[in-house]
Structure 1
Amino acid sequence: MNFRVASDPEYFDKNWNILKHAIREIFKCNDNARHLSFGELHRHAYYMVLHNFGEKLYSKLVATMTSHVKEIAKSVEASEGSSFLEELNTKWNDYYKALEIIRDILMYMDRTYIPSTKNKPVYELGLNLWRENVIYSNQIRNRLSNTLLEFVFKERAGEDVNRELIRNVTKMLIDLGPSVYEQVFETPFLQVLAESYKAESHKYIEFV
């Protein structure tokens, strides 16, 4: 750490506040984010890590991202009826795009600070936070499973459903990890399917 940085007790806070503001604007996915100087933001992050503030920067990032993801969870939980999957899909798409941008801004931290720690890279951190706070929310997980199953069986019955929406949501589960897809969709689907075939076989036996 050079003398100028060491002699400025507000160095980290001043630079972090700039990054925090930018991260929040990026998460909003509005026009304000277009006016951000990503080269400047990358330099702020670069020098913070270079001056041994990597651990503090990562800690602040986790807190900021966690707060945002929890707000998303509240929004998805509050959605009603058919808007539930649409809200989840929209929020995920916005979050994923923002996550890629934030990862690029903090690329130097990913490359130099993260490998020497047990911390997750920014992209993986973002997926973990979404999985734990949104998908595994007590108010979302079972509802998501039931809603997906409802859509699938409606389609099997010949009803019109939004196939693209189902495809997008199931792809999200796959992107979050094979175990997430299996727990939230595949296993419940196979269980319901097995119960359905079992009931049909009992009816057939009784008829015979």
Structure 2
Amino acid sequence: MPAVTCPLSISFESLHHTPRQPGQLTNEQVKRYFDEGFVLVKDFFTPEELQPCRDGTAELVDALAERLYKAGKIKNTYRDAGLFQRLTLIEEEFPGTCALLLKEGKIHKAYCDLWVNDRLLNVMEQLVGPEIAGNLLWNLRPKVPSNDETTVPWHQDNCYTLPESLGTLIPVAWIPLLDATVENGCMQVP
């Protein structure tokens, strides 16, 4: 597959992968990342490891639901629905809820803890080396089923950074908090 570039993107063809220390990714997975620009690692985190992020997200959704209810934007906070169903119900009643949650710019400590997970850092080190920095943008991207407004086209996140970062490999770990399926809005690679 040839590299796909845009004016503010990095061409993977221009990157020369330097083998790193062995780690979470196999050599074949690292090669695929550099050849195709992505690699899928199924079940990297256990449900128990992701539960604090789900709980933190539930707290953010709860706070937003309460604000929307008090403002008269929704008639029900759907407190008895599970996290994912709740957000979908609120979005159906008040379109744009997911965007509000995304753009609030709040991040729960559980996400910060996930960032420093040794296995995740090891993957990043396999790709970029030992100098790893994090980016606080887009740490929570809510996606509800059958909603074009929450669909994001395939893109490279270095478009969100300073021009000096162009030409720098900026890998992203996309970690779904529920089983990602076509029906509920999984990432789709063109």
TM-score of the pair, normalised by structure 2? 0.26
Higher share in helix? 1
Kindly indicate whether structure 1 or structure 2 has the higher relative contact order, using CA contacts under 8 Å at least 6 residues apart: 2
TM-score of the pair, normalised by structure 1? 0.24
